[in-house]
Structure 1
């Protein structure tokens, strides 16, 4: 069954994108400046459904791909973790730009896990990715220069376990995560409704505040969908968030996600987390030590989103040292983690304001 799309938005497959057959949603004239929209977890190109057509109508060529391991994009090798490291995901974005016949991107926009992909693409290749908008996941910047040995870190995971908790990113990196989420006891649709609702501005318990540091005691202040009960998988951890409605996500829209993840599972997206938590690819970033995003950049998130505080200090570091042309941070009132879906008109307006301020 084909997903219904807003008027003016089309879909197609782009072959041979860094080894992928990439599914994209698209609108606008291919001769117009390109704007690339990168989704996060557990989302799809469809998560940008409310922004694609209005931004295209303003004179841009809008493209939103299903990223590596997601949706209708195929060709990844899930046995090769290196394919899911952030700089290779940025290569996916660069390969898509080339395959589309563009020489540069007016702006790359990344939400959630798409945010660091957009940030590293803009930092590594400012000649291609001319500007970026980061959403819901702050980017603290490249390593400092000169390089210094990483400081010793206390065993915060053991300390969390003593508090009866575990960090979701490390759980997502285990072999248990995909089976738990691919076949949730409550069913895929109910699982995703609870997951999306719990992290949204509609969940009354989302009253975020800055954490003092990366310690077990501080991390344990995060909700269960970030720092989980030690004895539960994610499907069980989000059960308390099933009550209530998320008016920004209709039943038909929820069905799009449930149908897609019911078909593909979450394994591809979870490998993004495993690549990060493994530590195997951290040295990739040292090549850019001391560098900043050169082009215009800004950050957009919901003011009810715990995600902006889950990496203590990142929000502040982003504004201070991540970008050479920092255009500011905007927290959208009443929105949670899924800001472009929860407050689509406001996010579209903010994106248009940013895009109109760029050199043409």
Structure 2
């Protein structure tokens, strides 16, 4: 393997590799490794991020007495052993196998359980499924920026009235038929073209990611989210274009319109260009397809039946939700944020919406997120 450049990490975090994790050679960032016998917390990143997204949180959790491990997940960064081919093994990216990745990593480090699994964005979904499937191992969970609506339901009471197929959601036709035609980003991310659109973006990967991160952050002043009424074209078309895109534009073109000025970039303290350069170099090297496979697993419906195995199950371990107050991700799927609080999580101690943060909450407002996580881990109620 060609030597990769060093990662610009804060003091106290090291980079290492762990072999034979469910077929992967997993790249992991680690803090609090100096002394043995510490309780462990597992941090799971989302898209388009890496373990690096936790760099500001890890030292605080380590200082609070925890062994903190944060992997580049399957499909991302310096973790290898996954298939980057659009026509490759999609099943390896399904949620239950991502849970198996997390279990394997925890076990490799010599833990029978962890005090908490903490996930952001798509990592929030993996963390939720970890807690749902193996509450004996993942003894608490914090979901960040993506609320969890519970496992998909089995068709119920259909003996005399067969269930309608969910395979053909009319919302896509309805979005395309709007006066301002639109499409949903998750289905766009599932297309064959999406990886090349971003990897070969006219503005380059670095400027693509700069605009993408800016557009979904609190720095973009039009991010003023509120609950939507229903999963209908007219309602979800109220979402910004990074979620419900213009029908004729790809994601690179979508975010290019919102590229921050040179002055705004220079003033950005939460993601200076030196940090963004690490993200952009990694994605320029790997492409985006491994990450996009996660979306395809969901939009294809191919693994719905497997997830229905847990139909009706709740998350019963101690849980919390953290998001940016300026993050539309909290509301992007109408009703999920409310369902998480009312019926999915039976021991949800709080939902903390942090002002001054959009979607990249642990990077935009690292101090407040770190404080909230330590309070959660110590048993205090996040408020």
State the TM-score bracket (shorter-chain normalisation). over 0.9
2-structure distance, mates of 1:322, 1:104: 22
Indicate yes or no: 2:252 matched with 1:235: yes
Give the CA deviation at 1:194: 0.2
Q: 1:310-356 CA deviation, whole Å, 9 max, x = no partner?
A: 11000000011111211111100121000000000000000000000
Conserved in 1, the CA contact under 8 Å of 2:83 and 2:290?
no
Match of 2:135 in 1: 126
Q: Residue 209 of structure 1 is aligned with which of 226, 230, 239?
A: 226
2-structure distance, mates of 1:316, 1:6: 37
2-structure distance, mates of 1:147, 1:198: 41
Give SS of 1:285's match: helix
Indicate yes or no: 2:336 matched with 1:336: no
**What does 1:102-181 correspond to in 2, within 5 Å?**
102-144=111-153, 147=156, 149=163, 155-163=170-178, 164-181=181-198
Moved more, 144-153 or 159-168: 144-153
Conserved in 2, the CA contact under 8 Å of 1:146 and 1:290?
no
Match of 2:15 in 1: 11
Moved more, 229-238 or 245-254: 245-254
Give the CA deviation at 1:77: 2.4
Give SS of 1:241's match: coil
1-structure distance, mates of 2:303, 2:226: 31
Distance 1:150 1:36, change over 3 A: farther
Give the CA deviation at 1:142: 2.3
**What does 1:1-360 correspond to in 2, within 5 Å?**
1-28=5-32, 29-78=35-84, 79-144=88-153, 147=156, 149=163, 155-163=170-178, 164-244=181-261, 245=264, 246-357=268-379
2-structure distance, mates of 1:341, 1:131: 22
Distance 1:357 1:90, change over 3 A: same
Give the CA deviation at 1:54: 1.1
Distance 1:220 1:16, change over 3 A: same
1-structure distance, mates of 2:165, 2:333: 17
TM-score by length of 2: 0.91
Give the CA deviation at 1:19: 0.5
2-structure distance, mates of 1:316, 1:353: 23
Give the CA deviation at 1:154: 5.3
1-structure distance, mates of 2:319, 2:110: 24
Conserved in 2, the CA contact under 8 Å of 1:146 and 1:289?
no
TM-score by length of 1: 0.97
2-structure distance, mates of 1:30, 1:66: 23
Q: 1:269-321 CA deviation, whole Å, 9 max, x = no partner?
A: 00000011000001122111221112100100001001111110000000111
Where structure 1 has 5 or more consecutive residues not aligned to the other structure, the ranges are none
1-structure distance, mates of 2:332, 2:81: 32
2-structure distance, mates of 1:155, 1:325: 35
Conserved in 2, the CA contact under 8 Å of 1:110 and 1:117?
yes
Where structure 2 has 5 or more consecutive residues not aligned to the other structure, the ranges are 158-162
Give the CA deviation at 1:247: 3.1
Give the CA deviation at 1:150: 5.8
Q: 1:91-114 CA deviation, whole Å, 9 max, x = no partner?
A: 110110111111111100000000
The Cα RMSD (Å) is 1.4
2-structure distance, mates of 1:146, 1:242: 45
Conserved in 2, the CA contact under 8 Å of 1:12 and 1:23?
yes
Give SS of 1:62's match: strand
